[in-house]
Amino acid sequence: MIAATSRRGRPVSRIAGVPPEVKDGWELHPVGRLQVLEAPALTRLSWLVHAFSTRCGGTSRLRAAKGAKAGRFRQVDDQVLNLGLTDGDTRRRVLSNRRQFLHAIGADRMSLVAIDQIHSDLVHRITSATQAVTKLAKGDALLTSVPGILLAVQTADCVPILLADRRRRAVAAIHSGWRGTLLRIAAKALGRMRMEFGTSPQDVIAAIGPSIGRCCYEVGSEVAAAFHSQFPSAREWFDGPFDALAAGENDPNWLPWLTMKPPGHASPPPRVRLDLVAANRAILVDAGVPPVRIFQSRLCTACRTDLFFSYRREHATGRLMAVIGIR
């Protein structure tokens, strides 16, 4: 990696294998054995703490998924920064990883909130540090205007979105998989910020972190049909036979005996590739956020398993964390 210096005087690394124009100015900071990714526009806000974790460093040892292709996955003896309480890891190691991560971003004294995510459109407001350390109801977005609270969402392919209201000094962290995107959770979190804090979308900066890209995210007819029913512009976010799948054609469950092919010889059902980042960007724009204030990392978690966890690529894997808070 090529070393550089950030606006805060910290060392920055260019991500190997990613052209600078694709990286869009996002900064990868080496802190000891850890690598922390930051969005350029959020870094400029002196009152804000934010970061997107990578898998580099940490104390967890995660076994490659059963049947994984050689060379595509991390080996069992790798020490990685898993920040989620997932199967295959211990609570002690995850908590140790979280302490390392918070120390790396200068948030040791902040109260971390990690919600129980369920691929919903439920949004929770955090109003005190006491509330932050108690168990929350299930949901997929958090918001606060209270200093000292660090909001977190966990991902391993889904889209992490961080919002910051520059004028009101309020923030939100959002987890958006295809179900959350379909439910427009990003717009609903922004609407809740408007209701709770008086946020104007024109004052919001949005950072869309690393997630599975259009290049790797294949989905079936049920997802295509669902997006077609909810978004007039959905076709723009798909590659492949979107119109046919959205209309219910080529349904693999429709009278399969008509193919007259023996079991195991039928053609696989058609698939399309979905761009979740483009969908969430469009949702934010429709909600009033200026396009010039929406920043995306353009890094695919499934392509870059050297940097990120990918459930789609690895099956059994750890969790990344996107965090945001007010100093």
Q: How far apart are CA 242 and CA 224, in angstroms?
A: 6
Give pLDDT tens digits for 256-307: 545 555 655 555 667 899 999 999 999 999 999 999 999 999 999 999 999 9
- Residue 219: is its pLDDT beyond 70? yes
pLDDT for res 162: 98
Q: Please, which pLDDT band fits residue 1 given cuts at 50, 70 and 90? A: very low
Give pLDDT tens digits for 151-177: 999 999 999 999 999 999 999 999 999
- Residue 72: is its pLDDT beyond 60? no
Cα-trace Rg, the chain: 20
pLDDT for res 263: 59
Q: Please, which pLDDT band fits residue 135 given cuts at 50, 70 and 90? A: low
218-221 long-range contacts, CB within 8 A, separation 24+: 218/271, 218/272, 218/273, 218/274, 219/178, 219/271, 219/272, 219/273, 219/274, 220/245, 220/269, 220/271, 220/272, 221/245, 221/246, 221/248, 221/250, 221/251, 221/252, 221/269, 221/270
Percent of the chain with pLDDT strictly greater than 70: 80
Q: Please, which pLDDT band fits residue 24 given cuts at 50, 70 and 90? A: low
pLDDT for res 131: 63
Mean of the per-residue pLDDT values of the chain: 86
- Residue 22: is its pLDDT beyond 50? no
Q: Taken in order 42, 231, 158, 218, is the CA torsion positive or negative? A: negative
Q: Please, which pLDDT band fits residue 61 given cuts at 50, 70 and 90? A: confident
- Residue 250: is its pLDDT beyond 90? no
pLDDT for res 62: 80
Q: How far apart are CA 313 and CA 138, in angstroms?
A: 26
- Residue 71: is its pLDDT beyond 50? no
| Selected residue with higher pLDDT from 2 and 177 | 177
92-98 long-range contacts, CB within 8 A, separation 24+: 93/58, 93/59, 93/60, 93/61, 94/60, 96/58, 96/59, 97/58, 97/59, 97/60, 98/321
For the ranges 62-71, 98-107, 171-180, the lowest mean pLDDT is seen at 62-71
pLDDT for res 267: 57
List residues bridging with 5 in a β-sheet. Answer: 11
- Residue 18: is its pLDDT beyond 70? no
Q: Determine contact, residues 185/118, Cβ cutoff 8 Å.
A: no
